Amino acid sequence: MSIPTTSLPDGTPVPVLGAGTWHYAEDPTRRRDEIATLHAALDTGITLIDTAEMYADGGSQELVGEALAGRRDEAFVVDKVLPSNASRRGTVEAAERALQRLRTDRIDLYLLHWRGRHPLAETVTAFEELRAAGKIRAWGVSNLDTDDLEELVGLEAGRAVATDQILYNPTRRGPEYDLLPWCAEHGVPVMAYSPVEQGRLLHEAALRAVADRHDATPAQVALAWVLRRPGTIAIPKTSTPQRITENRGALDVRLTDEDLAELDRAFPPPTRKRALELL
């Protein structure tokens, strides 16, 4: 059950639908269900698994490593370094810790979680060292706006940036004004986190109306809306295998021009630059 893919700038295919793990490993009573959810994701063809050292202070990485035991080669693992650790040396050390927690010898895509006090040049140098050593296969950023990306690609090694992971959903459309066009122009795919706004979109009347027309759910419509843009990857977080099946069904939803117009009326696109929002 293959998932459609988009390509990183180096040509590596990446599934357009993944599984996020924010808040995983925070409650021991949910651990079994969370691992079962990641197994269900792999079984359903959702092989992109996103985590970060910030999540449960490394606990999410450990849970992902446990879930991928014996199945690592099936997965495309995305991990993130905290900005407080993103010096040249700190990035390398964070990656080494991540590899141990994930029980793997490589991270497929390693991101700067958001911009902090360390210069981008230091972080990029560390990323390139890790890539040369085979410990990461590609690197990117998260929560960086257009001016940050301009600065990044102004660095010689910065042109290797493979993605920008951002908050994007029907209620968070600011990136459409300039960030998404910039990424499209530079061939940088965008990863949308919280594509259903942590579940808050499920009660929006416009999404429910469109969902009814397609015999779908509001979550599926929200995901289909995000994925309508070429070069966009959605990484919804869910903690049950049933939700994984629901998310997979979003790939079968084909939004019409009428649907998109209705959603535009409910969630108007930006008419000016907005600061990039974060959760």
Kindly list the catalytic residues: 55
In order of 48, 226, 242, 277, the CA distances from 41 in angstroms are 9, 19, 10, 28
Specify burial of residue 161 (Cβ count, 10 A radius: 0-12, 13-18, 19+). Answer: buried
In order of 145, 155, 258, the CA distances from 142 in angstroms are 9, 17, 32
Q: Using the structure block, give the residue that is written with the tokens 């974060």.
A: 278
Instruction: Compute the distance between CA of residue 130 and CA of residue 92 in angstroms, rounded to an integer.
Output: 7
Closest C-alpha among 185, 183, 177 to residue 162: 183
Instruction: Compute the distance between CA of residue 166 and CA of residue 143 in angstroms, rounded to an integer.
Output: 5
Tell me the one-letter amino acid at 171.
T
Q: How is residue 138 written in tokens?
A: 């590609």
In order of 13, 146, 154, 208, the CA distances from 150 in angstroms are 25, 6, 6, 38
Instruction: Compute the distance between CA of residue 141 and CA of residue 139 in angstroms, rounded to an integer.
Output: 7
Tell me the one-letter amino acid at 85.
N
Q: How is residue 151 written in tokens?
A: 């600065």
The number of residues making up the chain comes to 279
Closest C-alpha among 219, 239, 249, 198 to residue 37: 239
113: annotated binding-site residue? Answer: yes
Which amino acids are annotated as binding site for substrate, given as ranges?
113
